[in-house]
Structure formats: C-alpha cells, structure tokens
Amino acid sequence: MLSSIFARAVKDRVLVHNPCDHTELPKVIARKARTLTPDEYTRLLAAIPYSTD
C-alpha cells in the first residue's frame, strides 16, 4: 500500500524516486488447514459444556 502511494507521488512529480522500490517483502508461509472428521466433530461438540439456564 505504501509503495503504491509513493509510486503515485513519483508519477505526480512530488518525489524523485520511490523509497520502497528495492524493499523485499517477507515471505508468506502457507499453513495447511485440516478439516475435522464427522466423528471428531461429534466428540468435540460432546465435550463442550453448556448451560440450559
């Protein structure tokens, strides 16, 4: 987002160069998601305490 703001400022000749041009962004590590099996879901629901108040 900041880089695009600076890019616009360069285009509008407010800045001479974009200070974000050679900035390397951190790598995004994708995490695997696991879906509960029907049995796991049933056991999870059974383990949740609830009140009938």
pLDDT tens across 5-49, in order? 999 999 999 999 999 998 888 899 999 999 999 999 999 999 999
Give the residue carrying structure tokens 């059974």.
46
Instruction: Give the Cα-Cα-Cα angle 21, 23, 25 (nearest 5 degrees).
Output: 125
- On whether the CB atoms of residues 34 and 20 are closer than 8 A, the answer is no
Report whether pLDDT(51) > 90.
no
Query: What is the residue extent of each domain of the chain?
Result: 2-47
